[in-house]
Amino acid sequence: MTQLMEHKNTYLSSFAQLQDEVGGGSHPWLERLRKNAIERFAAVGFPSVKDEQWLHTNVAPIDRTPFRPAARPTDVPRNALAEFSFADDAAIELVFVNSHYAPELSTLNPLAKSVRVSTLAEALETHAERLENHLARYADVAANPFVALNTGFLQHGAFIHLPRGVALDRPIHLLFLSAASGEPAVAHPRVLILADDTSEASIVETYAAASGGVYFTNAVTELVVGNGARVEHCKVQQESLSAFHISTTEVRLGRAAFFLSHSASLGAQLARNDVNVVLNGAGGEAMLNGVTLIDGNQHVDNHTLLDHKEPRCPSHELYKAVLDGKSSGVFKGKILVRPGAQKTDSKQSSKTLLLRDEAVMHSQPALEIYADDVKCTHGSTTGPVDDQQIFYLRSRGISLEAARHLLTYAFLAEVTGRIRVLPVRQRLEAIMADRHGLPQDLRVAHIA
């Protein structure tokens, strides 16, 4: 207990420092926001496995580590981001190192009419009112201690505003790189995305390691998709294998809005993603896709919520995981259909391949339905690669290793094939093809 208090206090003293740095500025609302949030965190602390939402994910290792606010390193070379950068395939690419904006690493192409992509700090100058109206209005500090912690330290991150009717043909890329230094550091990147009515864009968040080491990323993204707007959102997590990654993505959909989400988890020793989507307008549509590909002692926990508030909203969810080594996974997908949400059509599926006997998956669908004219289905499968499929491939001359690899690849490719942002799809499929150390001529290429 004393240990726990001590490290909570690490955050509290860091908070005091932050206040000295930025507090008392021109935005009392922001200061209030931070203060309320840190008070909330001080009151509840880190969640324990007794909390139903954290049943299978023990964050004690985060609690035990005295993380200090990450400083901005000056010596991150450009080639550290080569693997992750979209370069000119992006409409614009903002690079953050340890959550601090790194303009010299960013690709700042001119953007279409009045589209705004900037740091939060800059947006506080130019779009203060919009920020005040939206920031922390969706990600609830009372619902999740990590959201409280992020909001308490709200300072670094990105702001995206797509005005009404604007359509971008290339993706916006936010690349959050972590460069670990000597002592464990924590970053709390924050993203606010406002897609006004009938706008269209693809937005990618990449969280990746510029170098290995222990660090903690605690990210929160809030995304408002206006009436008739269409947004594809990709979150790719490729943190260091020693890192901790906690993220919350809060989405609000307007009338006839379309939201396509992809969440890929490859890195971190412990990762937890919450994707909460509220269908706030009639006829809105949400598709949530997930890919988890882990090994060793990695642990990835995906929690999703599809909150149907209005009628005639379809939602479709497919989360797939491949667990190798002694890794473990969690999927908890909740579909909530509120009384007004008639004609909801929701389909959820969670499928996991266990490549080793030691790997473990906890998969739990949860349906809560308060309307009588709805269609909701869910399904969950967990198991090894299918024996009959393996034998079928072997009986045609394909080796056991190649058969396992091909089937594993194809299993995940069903999800990655839905990603419309080509650089993301290619990056993920290249990683999938690289797994299992097969010689080049046996690796999967151009499978479809």
Partner 1 sequence: MPLLEIKNLHAKVADREILKGIDLTINTGEVHAIMGRNGSGKSTLAQVIAGRDTYEVTEGEILYDGKDLLDLSAEERAREGVFLAFQYPVEIPGVSTSYFLKAAVNAIRKHHNQPELDAVDFQAMVKEKMKLLQMDQTLMRRAVNEGFSGGEKKRNEIFQMAVLEPRLAVLDETDSGLDIDALKTVAHGVNALRGPDRAILLVTHYQRLLNYIEPDFVHVMLEGRIVLSGDRTLALKLEEQGYDWVEQQVAQSQNA
Applying CB under 8 A, the residues found at the interface with partner 1 are 386-389, 391-400, 402-403, 406-407, 409-411, 413-414, 441, 446-448
Whole-number Å distance between alpha carbons of 315 and 295: 30
Q: How many CB atoms lie within 10 A of CB 213?
A: 18
Q: At residue 94, what is the residue type?
A: L
User: What distance in Å separates the CA atoms of residue 63 and residue 246, rounded to the nearest whole number?
Assistant: 13
The count of residues in the chain is 448
CB of 339 to partner 1, least distance (A): 38
Q: Can you tell me the distance from the alpha carbon of 335 to that of 37, in angstroms, rounded to the nearest whole number?
A: 27
Residue 176's DSSP bridge partners are 96, 207
d(CA 425, CA 423): 6
Q: Which is nearer to partner 1, 24 or 379 (CB)?
A: 379
CB of 11 to partner 1, least distance (A): 45
Q: Closest approach of Cβ 396 to partner 1, in Å? A: 4
Q: How far is the CB of 357 from partner 1 (least distance, A)?
A: 18
For partner 1, which is the closer residue by CB, 372 or 387? 387
Nearer to partner 1, 22 or 393 (CB): 393
Q: How far is the CB of 393 from partner 1 (least distance, A)?
A: 7
Give the residue with the Cβ less far from partner 1, 191 or 402.
402
Smallest distance, Å, CB 236 to partner 1? 21
Q: Could you tell me the smallest distance in angstroms from the CB atom of residue 157 to partner 1?
A: 37
Choice between 342 and 389, CB closer to partner 1: 389
Got the DSSP string for 151-189?
Answer: HHT--SEEEEEE-TT-B-SS-EEEEEEE---SS-EEE--
Token pair of 222 as six digits: 């809030």
> What tokens appear for 276 in the block?
């909460």
Q: Which is nearer to partner 1, 241 or 407 (CB)?
A: 407
| Residue (199 or 408) nearer to partner 1, CB | 408
| 62 vs 403 by CB, closer to partner 1 | 403
> What minimum distance in Å lies between the beta carbon of 16 and partner 1?
53
- The structure tokens listed for 85 are 């950068």
Q: DSSP secondary-structure letter at 210?
A: S
The letter for the amino acid at 266 is L
- How many whole angstroms separate alpha carbon 443 and alpha carbon 303? 32
Q: Which is nearer to partner 1, 211 or 389 (CB)?
A: 389
Residue 345 C-beta: closest distance to partner 1, Å = 22
The Cα–Cα gap between 16 and 20 comes to: 6
Q: Are 258 and 448 in contact (CB under 8 A)?
A: no
Half-sphere exposure of 318 toward its Cβ, with a 13 Å CA cutoff?
11
E strands present in 29-74: 68-69
**Residue matched to tokens 């192409």:** 109
254, 225 in Cβ contact below 8 A? Answer: yes
d(CA 167, CA 147): 31
Decide: helix, strand or coil at residue 255. coil
Residue closer to partner 1 by CB (options 123, 444) is 444
Please, which residue, 44 or 393, has the CB nearer to partner 1? 393
In the complex, minimum distance from the CB of residue 391 to partner 1, in angstroms, rounded to a whole number = 6
CB of 302 to partner 1, least distance (A): 21
Please state, in angstroms and rounded to a whole number, the distance separating the CA atoms of residues 181 and 171: 31
Separation between Cα atoms, residue 21 and residue 26, nearest integer Å: 13
Q: How far apart are CA 418 and CA 233, in angstroms?
A: 12
